[in-house]
C-alpha cells in the first residue's frame, strides 16, 4: 500500500512538471533550424507562427503555448495573424516565458554617424553641431530617433515644417 502511495505521488509530480508537446520556445539566442523546444528554441516569431500553423493543419489535440524567452526580438515586417493561426477547438497563446522581459521591436541601428560639413542652407550656428549618417537600405521612413534608450528631439526651426503625408492615417497628430 505504501509503495502505491509513493508511485501516485511521483506520477502526480511528473504530470505537474511535464512539458506539453505543443509548447514552442523562441529566443534571441535560438535558431530557426532548431526544433523549438526549450533547449533548442527558434530564433524568430515567424518560425514559431509557421510551426503553429503546421500543428493546426495536422489537427490539434491540445492547446498550444508559444513562449518568448528573455530578450529583444527585432522584426522587419509587421506580424500578422489570420484565421489559419487560430484553431477552432483549442487555444494558441503567445506569451513571455516565466515573467521574462520580452521586447518585440522594429527598431533599426543606424551606424556611421559623423559631423556634417557645411550643407547648403545650413545656418552658421549649426555648422559643427549637426550629425549625419546613412539610413539602412530597408528603412524608408522613420519618425523617432533614439540614442540608446533615450528619445532624441527632432531638429526643428521656425522655417521648417514637416511635410504631411495624407496617405498615412494617424490616431494623433505629429
pLDDT of res. 171: 60
User: What does the buried/exposed string (b/e) look like for 112-124 if buried means 16 or more CB atoms within 10 Å of the residue's CB?
Assistant: eeeeeeeeeeeee
Is the pLDDT at 160 greater than 80? The verdict is no
Each residue of 100-123: pLDDT tens digit?
Answer: 999 998 888 888 999 988 788 888
Is the pLDDT at 73 greater than 60? The verdict is yes
Which of 79, 95, 88 shows the shortest CA–CA distance to 47? 79
Kindly report the average pLDDT of the chain as a whole number. 82
Q: Give mean pLDDT, residues 57-86.
A: 92
44 versus 3: which is more confidently predicted? 44
pLDDT of res. 141: 76
Task: With beta carbons less than 8 A apart as the criterion, state whether 64 and 94 touch.
Answer: no
Each residue of 14-57: pLDDT tens digit?
Answer: 333 344 568 999 999 999 999 999 999 999 999 999 999 999 99
Q: How many CB atoms lie within 10 A of CB 92?
A: 20
By CB atoms closer than 10 A (0-12, 13-18, 19+), residue 68 is: buried
Q: Give mean pLDDT, residues 137-155.
A: 80
pLDDT of res. 14: 38
Is the pLDDT at 131 greater than 60? The verdict is yes
Is residue 12 very low, low, confident or very high in pLDDT (cuts 50, 70, 90)?
A: very low
Which of 41, 39, 38, 45 shows the shortest CA–CA distance to 30? 41
Cα–Cα dist 69/46, whole Å: 15
Amino acid at each position: 500500500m505504501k509503495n502505491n502511495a509513493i508511485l501516485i505521488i511521483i506520477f502526480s509530480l511528473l504530470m505537474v512538471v511535464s512539458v506539453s508537446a505543443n509548447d514552442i520556445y523562441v529566443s534571441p539566442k535560438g535558431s530557426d533550424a532548431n526544433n523549438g523546444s526549450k533547449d533548442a528554441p527558434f530564433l524568430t516569431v515567424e518560425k514559431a507562427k509557421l510551426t503553429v500553423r503546421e500543428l493546426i493543419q495536422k489537427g490539434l489535440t491540445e492547446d498550444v503555448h508559444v513562449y518568448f524567452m528573455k530578450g529583444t526580438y527585432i522584426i522587419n515586417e509587421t506580424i500578422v495573424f489570420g484565421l489559419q493561426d487560430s484553431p477552432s477547438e483549442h487555444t494558441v497563446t503567445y506569451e513571455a516565458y516565466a515573467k521574462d522581459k520580452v521586447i518585440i521591436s522594429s527598431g533599426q541601428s543606424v551606424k556611421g554617424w559623423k559631423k556634417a560639413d557645411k550643407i547648403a542652407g545650413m545656418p552658421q550656428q549649426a555648422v559643427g553641431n549637426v550629425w549625419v549618417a546613412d539610413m539602412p537600405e530597408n528603412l524608408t521612413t522613420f519618425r523617432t530617433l533614439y540614442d540608446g534608450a533615450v528619445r532624441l528631439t527632432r531638429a526643428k526651426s521656425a522655417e521648417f515644417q514637416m511635410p504631411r503625408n495624407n496617405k498615412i492615417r494617424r490616431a494623433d497628430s505629429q
